């Protein structure tokens, strides 16, 4: 089954290790904040603080599970630049492999939100005529994102000119 997700004779390029740290930070921040709002509301409005404790317990379980999966999720991401297309793979439980032909690319975007910039990361998004084949590679260093953007744009233009 593993060969289904491996391009022959190509090695996967991996995401920056900083992406793991970003995922850990967002896990530790987001779940407790999202679960604290209803927990406090339930406690204040009903006085049933034991229900709030259950809600916070659920948040703790979710945080621990996500933290345990961050490493596996990070290792599951990869991309390979081939002669005619770009392969992108990711997923732990549900594996995905996307092959984007260079000649079908219409737009290559580089994005970096505030947290990504704080960690020195960027994402490259590829858009084609079909919405179902759009692909994103998160967790790249700015240098790699710029290199990949330029290379994909150049290959996309040269391959599309033959159409």
Residue 144, domain CATH? 2.30.29
- Work out how many domains the chain is built from and give that number: 2
DSSP H or E segment with residue 37: helix 18-46
Q: Between 49-76 and 18-46, two packed helices, what is the crossing angle to 10 degrees? A: 170
Contacts of residue 64, Cβ cutoff 8 Å, sequence gap at least 6: none
Do 130 and 84 belong to one domain? yes
Contacts of residue 127, Cβ cutoff 8 Å, sequence gap at least 6: 105, 106, 107, 108, 109, 134
| Structural domain of 36 | 18-73
Assigned domain for 12 exists: no
pLDDT of residue 9: 76
pLDDT string in tens for the chain (163-residue length) = 666 776 667 888 999 999 999 999 999 999 889 999 999 999 999 999 999 999 999 999 999 999 999 999 999 999 999 888 899 999 888 988 888 888 888 889 999 999 999 999 999 999 887 767 668 999 999 999 999 999 998 887 777 655 5
Place of tokens 């229900």: 51
Distances in Å between the Cα of 20 and the Cα atoms of 73, 80, 125 are 9, 20, 19
Q: What is the pTM of this model?
A: 0.83
């Amino acid at each position: 089954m593993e060969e289904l997700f491996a391009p022959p004779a190509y090695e996967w390029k991996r995401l920056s290790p900083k992406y793991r740290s970003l995922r850990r930070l967002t896990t530790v921040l987001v779940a407790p904040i999202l679960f604290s709002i209803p927990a406090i509301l339930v406690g204040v409005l009903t006085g049933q603080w034991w229900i709030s404790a259950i809600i916070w317990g659920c948040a703790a379980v979710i945080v621990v599970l996500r933290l345990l999966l961050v490493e596996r999720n990070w290792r599951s991401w990869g991309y390979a630049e081939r002669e005619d297309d770009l392969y992108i793979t990711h997923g732990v439980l549900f594996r995905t492999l996307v092959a984007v032909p260079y000649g079908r690319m219409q737009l290559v975007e580089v994005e970096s939100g505030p947290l990504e910039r704080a960690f020195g990361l960027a994402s490259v998004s590829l858009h084609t005529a079909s919405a179902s084949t759009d692909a994103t590679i998160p967790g790249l260093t700015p240098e790699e994102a710029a290199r990949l953007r330029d290379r994909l744009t150049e290959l996309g233009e040269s391959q599309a000119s033959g159409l």
